[in-house]
C-alpha cells in the first residue's frame, strides 16, 4: 500500500513562488508522470515528495500519515536521479548496499537483495566495477537497482532517461514500463518529454509555472485537453491553433486541430485552404508546413504526397476532431 | 637517446643562434643555478670541516689540506708543495712555522729539516668529506628524541588539520545557512594576519590552558588553516549535490555523508593539504621556539638552533643536521608531487 496525497502544497524561495497550492492524489501502484516545460516546478515537487526539500505550506501524506516534517530517509521512498548520483568511489555492489547498511540490515539479507536486483536488471557482471567504468545505460540500471534493493513504498524518478542516447532511451523506456508491471509499485516519474509521458504513464500531471494544468490518462489529455497549454504540449507535432473565424460556423475563440487530423480534401468537404511553405518527406508520412490566411498550419499527411512548395492545397477535417477553446484558453465543450 | 639530445639542443635559429636561443639558455641555466645553487652549496658545505667553512674565498667542494705521517712526529703533518730555488717543486711536510718561515721536512727523508719562506709554498689539497659532521650529532646530540618530537608534531597536526579543515569546508560548501559567506570571508581574512601579530595573545592563551612546554601547545594553534579550508571548500563545491541527496535518501546520517561520501571524494585535495601541512609543520620554527623551553621537548628545527650559541655557531653541525631535516620534505615532494599538481588543478587553484 502506498498512496501519496498532496494537499495545498506550496513552495516559495524567498519572494519567488515556484509551486502554487498543488492538490494531488496518487493511487497505489500507479505510474504517474509529472510533465511540463523546464522551470515548471516538476522537479521541485518531486523533491518535496522525497523529503529533500520542505514545502512552505501544505501537507504531504503517505498512506494517510502526515510526513510533511519527516526526514527523507524515513519516508520509505527511493529516488533515481537525473545524473544517477552513483557514489563514484564505491563499486556497484557497495552502491547498492550503502542504503541497506545504513538501515542496519543483516549482511546475508543485503547480499540476497543485491543478487536479486542484479539478476532482474542484468547488472551481475559489473557488480565489482566502479560507476566510472560503466556506460550510460549500465549506470542507469545501477541507479534503478539502488532504488529497487531498498524495497521502497514508492519510486521517484527524476528525468531518468535524459542522459541516454535516443536508441537506448526507447529500449530503457520499455524496460521501465515492464519493471513497473512486475513490481506493481507506485512510481512518480518526472520528465519534460511528452512522448515519455504518453508511453509510460497511467496518469499524467501537466504542470506549468508551478500550477497543475490538467491531470488525466494519456488519452484523456490527448483527446480532451483542458486548455490551450495542454493541447499544445501533448501530441507531436504541436496542435494547430487558428482563430474561430477561419472555421465557418464554429463557436469559441480559438480552434485547435491536430496535424494528423487534416487530410487532402475530396469535393464537397469542409476545407481549409493553405499555401505550402515547406515539405518534410519522412517516407511513411509527409509533414506539410502551410500558411492559411496568414496563420501557420501544420499537416501530417499519410504516405508520400506529390506536393510542391508554393502550391495551394485544400485540407479537410472532421468536425469531431476540432478542439474549441474560449477567450480564456479553456476548453469550451 | 639521439632524439633526446636533438630535443634538448634544438634551436630556433636552426644551425645558427637566434637571440631567443641564447636567452633561453641563459634563463634556464641562470634559473637552475638560482634554484639549486643554495641546495648544492648546503649539501657540499655540510661535509666541510670547520676550518674549510671559515676559509676565504669559499669553495664549492669540501677540500682539506693533505697530511702525511712522518717518522719522528706523533701527529700527521700537513703537506705543502714547495717551489725550490731552482724552480722545480717538491712536496714537503710542515713541522712548525715561525713568522714567515716554516720548518719543513721531506717525508721520504725524515731526519733533515728545511727552512722555507711561506710565500714559496702552496698547501696540497684534496677533496675529503667530513662525515663526522653527521656522525657526531647522532652520538652526542639527542637526534632521535628531537626527530620523534618533530614527527609527532607533524603527524598529529596534519591529521587534525585534515579533519577539522575538511569538516569546516563541508559545512561551508554543502550547507546553506545564514551568514555562510560572512564566515567564509572571516576565514579568508585571517590569511592577512601574520603569526607575529598574534604571537603574544596566542602565547597567553596557550599558557592559560597549561599547554606551554607541551607538544600539544605547538600542535593545536596551527591546525585551523584558512588555506586548507578554502582549498577543500573549493574542491567540495565541485562534488554534485545530487550525491548528497542520494545519500540522504539512502538513510545516511550527516556524519556518514561527510565520512563516507564527501571525504573519499575529496581525497586529491586532502592529499595536497596533507603535503602542505607536513611541510609547514616540519619546518615550523618561530612558534615551537616560543612554546617549548624544555630541551627534551624540542623539535628538530629548535634543537638545531642550539648549535647557534651567543658567540659561536657550530656551522658544520648545523649544516649537516639541516641536510638531515630536509630529507623528509624532499622525499614528500619527490613521491607526492603527482598529487600536488593534479590536486591543485582539481581544486581550482593555480
- Model confidence band, residue B236 (pLDDT cutoffs 50, 70, 90): very high
Cβ neighbours of B253 in A, within 8 Å: 102
pLDDT at residue number B119: 82
SS3 state of residue A312 = strand
State which residues form the domain around B115. Answer: 63-127
- Measured in whole angstroms, the distance separating CA A135 from the mean position of its chain's CA atoms is 24
- Model confidence band, residue A240 (pLDDT cutoffs 50, 70, 90): very high
- Model confidence band, residue B68 (pLDDT cutoffs 50, 70, 90): confident
- B347 pLDDT higher than 70: no
Q: In this structure, are residues A2 and A153 in contact, taking their beta carbons and an 8 Å threshold?
A: yes
Domain ranges in chain A with CATH number 2.40.50.140: 238-325
Q: Do B251 and A103 touch (CB under 8 A)?
A: yes
Query: Do B138 and B219 reside in the same domain of the chain?
Result: yes
- Model confidence band, residue B348 (pLDDT cutoffs 50, 70, 90): very low
Does residue A237 have a cis bond before it (omega within 30 degrees)?
yes
User: Domain for residue B297, yes or no?
Assistant: yes
CA gap B62, B53 in Å, rounded: 8
Q: Do B245 and A79 touch (CB under 8 A)?
A: yes
The answer to whether the complex's ipTM is over 0.90 is no
Averaged confidence pLDDT in chain B: 86
pLDDT at residue number B132: 82
Q: Which of A211-215, A217-221, B212-216, B319-323 comes out lowest in average pLDDT?
A: B319-323
Domain A4-232: give its CATH architecture: 3-Layer(aba) Sandwich (3.40)
- A133 pLDDT higher than 80: yes
CA gap A106, A3 in Å, rounded: 29
Query: Do B224 and B274 reside in the same domain of the chain?
Result: yes
Query: Do B114 and B217 reside in the same domain of the chain?
Result: no
User: Domain for residue B263, yes or no?
Assistant: yes
Query: Do B162 and B86 reside in the same domain of the chain?
Result: no
pLDDT tens string B121-158 = 888 888 878 788 888 877 877 888 898 999 999 999 99
Last residue of a domain, one of B110, B127, B144: B127
- A126 pLDDT higher than 60: yes
With both helix axes pointing from N to C terminus, report the angle between B267-283 and B226-237 in degrees, rounded to the nearest 10: 170
pLDDT tens string B302-328 = 888 877 776 778 888 888 888 888 888
- The superfamily CATH assigns to domain A238-325 is Nucleic acid-binding proteins (2.40.50.140)
What residue in A sits closest to B252 (Cα-Cα)?
A102
Q: In this structure, are residues A34 and A207 in contact, taking their beta carbons and an 8 Å threshold?
A: yes
Domain ranges in chain A with CATH number 3.40.50.300: 4-232
Last residue of a domain, one of B127, B157, B175: B127
Strand A31-35, strand A323-325: pairing: unpaired
Q: Which of B176, B240, B241, B246 to mutate to test the interface with A (most CBs of A within 10 A)?
A: B246
pLDDT tens string A56-101 = 999 999 998 999 999 888 898 999 999 899 999 899 999 999 999 9
Q: Concatenate the DSSP letters of all residues of A34-48 into one string.
A: EE-STTSSHHHHHHH
Neighbouring CB atoms inside 10 A of A127's CB total 17
User: Domain for residue B56, yes or no?
Assistant: no
pLDDT at residue number B152: 95
Which distant-in-sequence residues (6+ apart) come within 8 Å of A269 by Cβ? A316
Q: What is the CATH classification number for the domain harbouring B188?
A: 1.10.3720.10
Query: Do B308 and B222 reside in the same domain of the chain?
Result: yes
User: Domain for residue B149, yes or no?
Assistant: yes
User: Domain for residue B77, yes or no?
Assistant: yes
User: Domain for residue B55, yes or no?
Assistant: no
Query: Do B84 and B142 reside in the same domain of the chain?
Result: no
Query: Do B68 and B34 reside in the same domain of the chain?
Result: no
Q: Mean pLDDT throughout B100-126?
A: 82
Count of the separate structural domains present in chain B = 3
- B253 pLDDT higher than 60: yes
Cβ neighbours of A52 in B, within 8 Å: 245, 248-249
- Model confidence band, residue A1 (pLDDT cutoffs 50, 70, 90): low
- Model confidence band, residue B344 (pLDDT cutoffs 50, 70, 90): low
Query: Do B198 and B104 reside in the same domain of the chain?
Result: no
SS3 state of residue A149 = coil
pLDDT at residue number B349: 42
User: Domain for residue B327, yes or no?
Assistant: yes
Identify which has the larger pLDDT, B120 or B214: B214
Amino acid at each position: 500500500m502506498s498512496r501519496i496525497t498532496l494537499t495545498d502544497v506550496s513552495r516559495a524561495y524567498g519572494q519567488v513562488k515556484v509551486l502554487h497550492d498543488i492538490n494531488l492524489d496518487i493511487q497505489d501502484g500507479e505510474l504517474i508522470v509529472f510533465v511540463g516545460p523546464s522551470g515548471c516546478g516538476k522537479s521541485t515537487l518531486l523533491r518535496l515528495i522525497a523529503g529533500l526539500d520542505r514545502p512552505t505550506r501544505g501537507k504531504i501524506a503517505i498512506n494517510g500519515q502526515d510526513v510533511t516534517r519527516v526526514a527523507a530517509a524515513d519516508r520509505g521512498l527511493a529516488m533515481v536521479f537525473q545524473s544517477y548520483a552513483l557514489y563514484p568511489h564505491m563499486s556497484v555492489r557497495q552502491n547498492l548496499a550503502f542504503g541497506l547498511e545504513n538501515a542496519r540490515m543483516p549482511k546475508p539479507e543485503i547480499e540476497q537483495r543485491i543478487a536479486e536486483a542484479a539478476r532482474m536488471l542484468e547488472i551481475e557482471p559489473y557488480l565489482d566495477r566502479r560507476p566510472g567504468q560503466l556506460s550510460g545505460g549500465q549506470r542507469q540500471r545501477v541507479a534503478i537497482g539502488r532504488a529497487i534493493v531498498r524495497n521502497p513504498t514508492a519510486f521517484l524518478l527524476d528525468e531518468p532517461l535524459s542522459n541516454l542516447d535516443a536508441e537506448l532511451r526507447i529500449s530503457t523506456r520499455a524496460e521501465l514500463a515492464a519493471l513497473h508491471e512486475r513490481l506493481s509499485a507506485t512510481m512518480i516519474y518526472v520528465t519534460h518529454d511528452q512522448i515519455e509521458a504518453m508511453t509510460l504513464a497511467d496518469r499524467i500531471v501537466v504542470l506549468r509555472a508551478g500550477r497543475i494544468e490538467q491531470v488525466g490518462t494519456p488519452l484523456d489529455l490527448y483527446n480532451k485537453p483542458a486548455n490551450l497549454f495542454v493541447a499544445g504540449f501533448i501530441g507531436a507535432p504541436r496542435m494547430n491553433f487558428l482563430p474561430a473565424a477561419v472555421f465557418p460556423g464554429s463557436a469559441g475563440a480559438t480552434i485547435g486541430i491536430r496535424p494528423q487530423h487534416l487530410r487532402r480534401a475530396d469535393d464537397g468537404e469542409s476545407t481549409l485552404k493553405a499555401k505550402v511553405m515547406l515539405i518534410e518527406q519522412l517516407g511513411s508520412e509527409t509533414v506539410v508546413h502551410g500558411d492559411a490566411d496568414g496563420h501557420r498550419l501544420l499537416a501530417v499527411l499519410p504516405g508520400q504526397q506529390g506536393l510542391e512548395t508554393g502550391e495551394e492545397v485544400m485540407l479537410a477535417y472532421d468536425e469531431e476532431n476540432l478542439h474549441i477553446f474560449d477567450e480564456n484558453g479553456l476548453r469550451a465543450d | 637517446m639521439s632524439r633526446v639530445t636533438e630535443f634538448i639542443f634544438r634551436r630556433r635559429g636552426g644551425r645558427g643562434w637566434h637571440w631567443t636561443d641564447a636567452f633561453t639558455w641563459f634563463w634556464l641555466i641562470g634559473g637552475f643555478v638560482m634554484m639549486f645553487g643554495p641546495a648544492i652549496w648546503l649539501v657540499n658545505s655540510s661535509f666541510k670541516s670547520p676550518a674549510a667553512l671559515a676559509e676565504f674565498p669559499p669553495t664549492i667542494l669540501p677540500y682539506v689540506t693533505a697530511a702525511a705521517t712522518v717518522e719522528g712526529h706523533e701527529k700527521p703533518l700537513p703537506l705543502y708543495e714547495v717551489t725550490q730555488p731552482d724552480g722545480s717543486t717538491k712536496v714537503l711536510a710542515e713541522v712548525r712555522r715561525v713568522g714567515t718561515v716554516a720548518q719543513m721536512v721531506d717525508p721520504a727523508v725524515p731526519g733533515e729539516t728545511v727552512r722555507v719562506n711561506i710565500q714559496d709554498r702552496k698547501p696540497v689539497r684534496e677533496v675529503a668529506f667530513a662525515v663526522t659532521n653527521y656522525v657526531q650529532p647522532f652520538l652526542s646530540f639527542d637526534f632521535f628524541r628531537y626527530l620523534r618530537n618533530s614527527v609527532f608534531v607533524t603527524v598529529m597536526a596534519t591529521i587534525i588539520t585534515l579533519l577539522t579543515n575538511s569538516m569546516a569546508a563541508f559545512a561551508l560548501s554543502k550547507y546553506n545557512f545564514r551568514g555562510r559567506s560572512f564566515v567564509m570571508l572571516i576565514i579568508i581574512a585571517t590569511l592577512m594576519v601574520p603569526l607575529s601579530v598574534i604571537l603574544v595573545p596566542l602565547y597567553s592563551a596557550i599558557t592559560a590552558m597549561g599547554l606551554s612546554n607541551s607538544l600539544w601547545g605547538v600542535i593545536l594553534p596551527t591546525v585551523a588553516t584558512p588555506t586548507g579550508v578554502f582549498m577543500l571548500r573549493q574542491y567540495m563545491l565541485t562534488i554534485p549535490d545530487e550525491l548528497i541527496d542520494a545519500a540522504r535518501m539512502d538513510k545516511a546520517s550527516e556524519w556518514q555523508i561527510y565520512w563516507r561520501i564527501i571525504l573519499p571524494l575529496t581525497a586529491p585535495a586532502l592529499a595536497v593539504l596533507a603535503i602542505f601541512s607536513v611541510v609547514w609543520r616540519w619546518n615550523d620554527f618561530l612558534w615551537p621556539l616560543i612554546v617549548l623551553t624544555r630541551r627534551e621537548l624540542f623539535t628538530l628545527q629548535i634543537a638545531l638552533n642550539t648549535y647557534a650559541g651567543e658567540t659561536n655557531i657550530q656551522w658544520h653541525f648545523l649544516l649537516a643536521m639541516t641536510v638531515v631535516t630536509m630529507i623528509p620534505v624532499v622525499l614528500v615532494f619527490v613521491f607526492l608531487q603527482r598529487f600536488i599538481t593534479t590536486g591543485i588543478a582539481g581544486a581550482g587553484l593555480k
